Structure 1
Amino acid sequence: MRSKVKTIVSSGLVAGTLDITAAILIYSVILHKTTAEKILRSIASGIFKKEAYTSGLEMTFLGLGLHFLIAFIFSWFYFKIFPYIPFFKINTFLSGITYGFFIWVVMNLIVLPIVFPVLPEKNLDFALLLSILIVIFCVGIPIAFITRKYYAKWY
């Protein structure tokens, strides 16, 4: 990766694609808990509330766009903080795990409760652990490795 923008965009695209693919495969295809469309509409509902479920197909695409926007923001943030956190330069895999867990905490304990004041209680169970693992392996680790590749020429 030669450019900062290409690094951020590619890490956001990879993380966003892996994350949404894992969510759809696991929750729609394997566990049969929901559909891909409902997953994307639920993302759109963060902004459009109930309208996301009653409007047309555009809400599905808006949900997908919002999902990638969030992935790009987390990619950009990691890229910006990378030079200032020595641990990130030492072990990329552990950095990705740490950052993935950080993302899960931010999204599930800060963002979602603000956007949706009434959420189901979180219990330490398979579903919770699965959601954490998806974010770690599909978002945190790819962002860490792609960003590390850019900074490798500096460190």
Structure 2
Amino acid sequence: MRSKSRTILYSGLLSGTLDILAAIIIYAVILHQTTAVKILQSIASGIFKQEAYTSGSQMAFYGLLLHYFIAFVFAYIYFKIYPYFPFLRNSLLLSGVLYGMFVWIVMNLIVLPIVFPKLPQKHFDFPLLLSVLILIFCIGLPIAYITKKFYTRH
């Protein structure tokens, strides 16, 4: 990566794309629990509440934009903290796993409960483990890899 902003852009685009594709493939295609449009509308509902489910593809588009915005925020945060935590530089795998878990904690224990106060209780089961693994492999590891690549060259 040649510049800081390009590094954040690439890591945000890659992680956001991998994450939304994983959600669609697993929950809509494999498990048949929902549709791609409903997944994106659910993301949009963080801002638009119930209206997100009544406006079809427009709200799905807003959900996709919000999803990428969140991915860019997490890419930016990791890029900014990377130089200050030596353990992030020591092991790409460990830092990617830890950051994926951090993203899961922030989203599921802070952001979602604030946006949706009446969420179902979380249980340590396969769906929870699957959601953590998706964030590790689709968010944590790609962001860690691209950021490490930048800082190794600079």
Aligned to 2:82: 82
State how far apart, in whole Å, the 1-side matches of 2:78 and 2:11 are: 10
Q: Name the residue aligned to 2:16.
A: 16
Q: Number of matched residues? A: 154
Q: Give 4+ residue runs of structure 1 displaced > 3 Å after superposition.
A: none
2:92 aligns with 92
Q: What is the alpha-carbon distance in structure 2 between the residues aligned to residue 3 and residue 143 of structure 1?
A: 15
**Matched residues in 2 for 1:45 and 1:56: separation?**
12
Hey, what's the Cα distance between the residues in 2 that align with 1:55 and 1:151?
Answer: 43
Structure 2 residue aligned with 1:129: 129
For residues 53-101 of structure 1, give each alpha carbon's deviation from its aligned partner in whole angstroms, at most 9, with x where no partner exists.
Answer: 0123210000000000000000000000000000011001110000000
Which residue does 1:146 correspond to in 2?
A: 146
Instruction: Tell me which moved more, 41-50 or 145-154.
Output: 145-154
Query: C-alpha distance in 1, partners of 2:103/2:2?
Result: 26
Render the CA deviation track for 1:135-155: whole Å, top value 9, x for unaligned.
00000000000000000024x
TM-score by length of 1: 0.98
Structure 2: gaps spanning 5 or more residues: none
Aligned AA for 1:95? S
The root-mean-square deviation of aligned C-alpha atoms, in Å, is 0.6
Given residue 89 of structure 2, which amino acid in structure 1 is its aligned partner?
A: K
Contact 2:37 2:56 in 1 (8 A): no
Percent identity over paired residues: 66
Which structure 1 residue ranges, 5 or more long, are not aligned?
A: none
Instruction: Provide the secondary structure at the position in 2 that maps to 1:49.
Output: helix
